[in-house]
Structures are given as structure tokens and as C-alpha cells.
Amino acid sequence: GAVVSQHPSRVICKSGTSVKIECRSLDFQATTMFWYRQFPKQSLMLMATSNEGSKATYEQGVEKDKFLINHASLTLSTLTVTSAHPEDSSFYICSVPAGGKETQYFGPGTRLLVL
């Protein structure tokens, strides 16, 4: 069964609105989760590392005030795209370290379309 879930799976919003994407770890408690973005025909790009109980760590070039991350509990991280614009349209994917195992499990992704 799924290890990581994301909600919603797809969302369409108007330019200027904010969109919240949830990432849930179903099998593991996760003090760390990762958020990626993938534009069409491109590879995944790491946006930020979500840390439970502390501030997220953002990759260079990612605006922390635009992409708000809240690691609310050991099983939930949220990414809020604030004042979304059409160029924010993308596939957003989270991942969760697999407990004591040596890899990460990725969520199914959320496709965002900003009109």
C-alpha cells in the first residue's frame, strides 16, 4: 500500500490565490520531509527540506516567503504556494525518509495549474 499520500492530487486555481498541498507519511514518523517541483519534460528539482519543530531549509533560488512550509506533526507537512502565478504551475512531489531504511518514499504528486 501507499507509504506517502498527497492531497489534493490536482488543483486548478486563479492567479493571485494561495494553494495548500498536504504531504502525509502513512507508515513512518518523519522529522524530515522533502519537497520537489517538476516542470513538464524536466527532472525533479528539490525545493526545500521540511523539518518538524523548526524552520524549513530552502534550496538556492526558492523564495521562502512564496512557498510556505509547515511541518505540523511527525506525519504531516504542508506546502502553501502563496499568490500563485501561472509560472508556478508544476508537479509538486514530497518525499519521506523511510525510517531506518536507506532510501526515501515519494508521494504521488500534486499537479497545480494556475490560470
Helix, strand and coil content of the chain, in percent to the nearest 5, comes to 5, 50, 45
Q: Toward other proteins, which CB reaches closer, 19 or 35? A: 35
Instruction: Measure the CA–CA gap between 33 and 83, rounded to whole angstroms.
Output: 23
Three-state SS for 65? coil
Cβ atoms of residues 79 and 93 within 8 Å: no
Q: Toward other proteins, which CB reaches closer, 46 or 76? A: 46
List 106, 112, 113, 114, residue binding other proteins (CB under 8 A): 106
Least distance between other proteins and beta carbon 87 (Å)? 20
Q: How many CB atoms lie within 10 A of CB 83?
A: 12
112 binds other proteins (CB under 8 A): no
Which window, 13-21, 60-68, 69-77, 89-97, contacts other proteins (CB under 8 A)?
89-97
Q: Toward other proteins, which CB reaches closer, 74 or 106? A: 106
21 binds other proteins (CB under 8 A): no
Torsion sign across C-alpha atoms 111, 82, 115, 43: negative
Query: Which positions lie near other proteins, rule CB under 8 A?
Result: 4, 6, 32, 34, 36, 43-46, 49, 91, 93, 95, 97-99, 101-109, 111
